[in-house]
Amino acid sequence: MAFDALSPTGRKPFAIAHRGGALLAPENTAEAFRAAAAIGADIVETDLRVSADGALVCLHDADLARLAGDPRLVAETELTTLRGLLPAMMTLDEAIAASAPLGLLLDVKLTDPAVLSRILAAFEAGGATRRSLLGLREIGLIAAARALSRDITLLGLLPDPDSAAAARAAGADWFRLWQGEATHERIATARAAGLQVAIMVGQPRSVADPGYPPFPVGRIDAEGIVQVLALAPDAVMLDDPRLLLAARPVTGLSSS
């Protein structure tokens, strides 16, 4: 599929800069995208929410507390106010432009299928459909997106690590596994269903609970990277892609 052509070297796993590269520069900003490109990342990931006046904005959290010290919800705040609080925040159109020529992974934090047509239209207007990966968190959203477009590449960001077959049946092309749930068996199951696999490093929380892996979302160490590479995923998402790029085999799998 077209998305596989993103790595100019043809090397796998693809290095996906989580939140644009949250350890390289402020998360989900054009500065982070530029930093990710400069170190050789293949893909930049960003998050999507909707403002009170309907703007598609690239913010991870549902509220503004962590990033701006403001308790208001993104969904209850208008775009001009968001820009005043977070001047480096991008709209989706701006993220599409800033990410070129890298691949763009969009983690949709929304559950209303009505937003899908707007996202797909933005990809098309920005000439980004063939280099974009749309991450969706519900089976119904995956099916709805596939019904709207045969061209967009879809990533299942589903909470159940054993739902690969269901994701594929709904129309997904890729499947996300968290590092702590990624096994050879689950990856084999996903591939048997016709999916490629991305591993998200760390735990699905901002502060790691005791256990493995001992890092919050997006974080990993050199030992962890070696363990992830041993699983031979197709892509790895992490806050600092340099850790992956340094350990990635010189001769990887050729894209096809």
Helix, strand, or coil (residue 254): coil
Helix, strand, or coil (residue 6): helix
* Strand pairing report for 174-178 and 153-156: parallel
Q: What is the DSSP letter of 191?
A: H
Token pair listed for 16: 């996906």
- Residue 198 and residue 235 in contact, taking contact as beta carbons nearer than 8 Å: yes
What topology does CATH give the domain 2-62+88-247? TIM Barrel (3.20.20)
pLDDT at 256: 34
> How far is the C-alpha of 89 from the C-alpha of 28, rounded, in Å?
7
Domain spans of the chain, in order of start: 2-62+88-247
CA distances from 243 to 37, 165, 246 (A): 15, 31, 5
- pLDDT tens-digit series, residues 20-40: 999 999 999 999 999 999 999
**Low-confidence residues of the chain, pLDDT below 70?**
1-10, 251-256
Per-residue exposure over 197-215, b if at least 16 CB sit within 10 Å of its own CB, e if not: bbbbbbbeeeebeeeebeb
Cross-strand pairs, 15: 236
- Residue 151 and residue 173 in contact, taking contact as beta carbons nearer than 8 Å: no
Q: Which residue type does 154 have?
A: L
pLDDT at 253: 42
> How far is the C-alpha of 231 from the C-alpha of 246, rounded, in Å?
17
pLDDT at 248: 92
Closest CA to 218 of 24, 11, 4: 24
Burial of 193 (0-12, 13-18, 19+ CB in 10 A): middle
> How far is the C-alpha of 65 from the C-alpha of 62, rounded, in Å?
9
- pLDDT tens-digit series, residues 104-156: 999 999 999 999 999 999 999 999 999 999 999 999 999 999 999 999 999 99
pTM of the model: 0.95
pLDDT at 2: 55
pLDDT at 10: 63
pLDDT at 255: 38
